[in-house]
Amino acid sequence: MSYDLSLLGWTESRSFQLPDGTVPARVARVDRGAAEVIAADGQHHARYGASVRRAAAADPVALPCVGDWVALRWLPEGRHELEAVLPRTTAFVRGGVSRHSVGGLSGDGQGQVLAANVDVVFVAEPSMHATDYADLGRIERLVALAWESGGTPVVLVTKSDLFEQGLDDLMADVRTAAPGVDVHAVSSQRGEGVEIVRGYLEGSRTAVVLGPSGAGKSTLVNALADTSVMETQQVRAADGRGRHTTVHRELIPLPGGGLVIDTPGIRRIGLYDMSDGVDLVFSDVEELALRCRFGDCGHDSEPGCAVRAAVESGDLPQRRLESWRKLQREAAWMAARTDARARKELQSKWKVITKEMRRSGRNRP
């Protein structure tokens, strides 16, 4: 079995990053201390080399994760060692906030990378789900998270067949909530919009699909794959094994080109890991705030407040101001979250998830 690495997203420009005597491979799945990787000559189980282990001990962000490009070294006894993680172009980091800080957010050395080198971040929000309508605030948060990762967000209003009457209005609202972001309506059930989604993956690009449970993420990936590579909820309910039955294939190459990363962590990625993404999503509010008379304006009752003026004139929807405030509160909460108890909780959650990942790996046919 041999693979054309360019179909997995490899570009020659990365070659110079490889240490001498190593070959490139892409991580399809990680397990404690080792990864399943795909190299040109096939799939390998690769244990982490000493330098990877050392770097990860100092900062968990250095641990290999799904989507990483890594350098593999052949050992004399025929095993493969994962010698280095090549520089990431994008990364979803959970639990610790890196890069720029907002409102006192700073990295605490406990971040965990959930997926790397993701080019396109589809934010799936169902036009309607049970009795709930689309949640614009959730779209804003996930778009912020997408920008934060370094990837390009694309908003998909899914299950569009369920809300035909109000769809035009909804699409207009979604476009206001995500300025500068492509927005499309998709109905996987009818096959509408699926080809548009596929277009974003051209050139072997890598995508993730974020969104709430029931948004139709698996159904969409199935539609893209043309075959049922992922089980949907009915199947999961039938075998009683729960959602994690899908995790054994975390890096999914699509027959039409491009890849989708789907992991429990990405599925549940929170709404808390963001900082500069907030600025991008709310650039309109941020710009207004710059024009307030006072630099520390709270946009409540201060004189010369440009934000309140815009709300009063109808230029800025009140809802949007409230979303912006809510995100700022979450950012502040995130900053305060560094206490040990909260961190422990997060770690035990991860233990459960990794346990389930291992179990489902064992159940692999």
User: Which among 197, 179, 183 has a CA at the least distance from the CA of 134?
Assistant: 183
Q: Does 348 bind ligand GTP (CB under 6 A)?
A: no
Q: Does 245 bind ligand GTP (CB under 6 A)?
A: no
Q: Under rule CB under 5 A, how many of the chain's residues touch Zn ion?
A: 5
- Among candidate residues 50, 51, 52, the one with its CA nearest the CA of residue 27: 52
The single residue among 90, 149, 188, 204 that binds ligand GTP, judged by CB under 6 A, is 188
Sole window of 142-150, 209-217, 270-278, 305-313 interacting with ligand GTP (rule: CB under 6 A):
209-217
The single residue among 292, 311, 331, 357 that binds Zn ion, judged by CB under 5 A, is 292
Burial (CB < 10 A; 0-12, 13-18, 19+), residue 113, is buried
In the complex, the smallest distance separating the C-beta of residue 179 from Zn ion, rounded to whole angstroms, is 20
Q: Binding Zn ion by CB under 5 A: which of 307, 310, 311, 331?
A: 307
Task: Kindly state whether residue 263 participates in binding ligand GTP, applying the rule CB under 6 A.
Answer: no
Angstrom distance (rounded) from CA 120 to CA 146: 9
- Which range touches ligand GTP (CB under 6 A), out of 7-15, 23-31, 142-150, 211-219? 211-219
Question: How far is it, in rounded angstroms, from Cα 346 to Cα 344?
Answer: 5
Sign of CA dihedral 109, 112, 118, 120: negative
Residue type, 203: G
**Minimum distance from residue 218 beta carbon to ligand GTP (Å):** 3
**189 secondary structure, DSSP code:** T
CB of 257 to ligand GTP, least distance (A): 22
Select the binding partner of residue 218 from Zn ion, ligand GTP, none (C-beta < 5 to 8 A, by kind): ligand GTP
Instruction: Give the alpha-carbon dihedral of 285, 286, 288, 290, to 10 degrees.
Output: 160
Cβ atoms of residues 321 and 298 within 8 Å = no
Is 138 among the residues that bind ligand GTP (CB under 6 A)?
A: no
216 in contact with ligand GTP (CB under 6 A) = yes
Residue 285 in contact with Zn ion, rule: CB under 5 A: no
> Residues in the chain, how many?
365
What is the nearest approach in angstroms of ligand GTP to the Cβ of residue 233?
4
Q: Which of 297, 310, 311, 327 binds Zn ion (CB under 5 A)?
A: 297
Which residue type occupies 32? Answer: R
Write out the binding residues. Answer: 158-161, 211-219, 292, 297, 299, 305
Asked if 284 interacts with ligand GTP (CB under 6 A), we say no
Q: How far apart are CA 11 and CA 86, in angstroms?
A: 12
Residues near 78 by beta carbon (within 8 Å), at least 6 away in sequence: none
- Contact 334/342 with Cβ under 8 angstroms? no
Token pair of 2, please?
């041999």
Residue with tokens 């050139």: 203
> Least distance in Å: CB of 219 to ligand GTP?
3
> Which of 84, 142, 223, 305 contacts Zn ion by CB under 5 A?
305
Q: Which of the stretches 35-43, 133-141, 224-232, 284-292 binds Zn ion when contact is defined by CB under 5 A?
A: 284-292
Rounded distance, CA 189 to CA 266, Å? 23
Name the 3-class secondary structure at 13.
helix
Q: Between 121 and 297, whose beta carbon lies closer to Zn ion?
A: 297
Residues that bind ligand GTP (CB under 6 A): 158-159, 161-162, 187-189, 211, 213-219, 232-233, 243, 267
Residues that bind Zn ion (CB under 5 A): 292, 297, 299, 305, 307
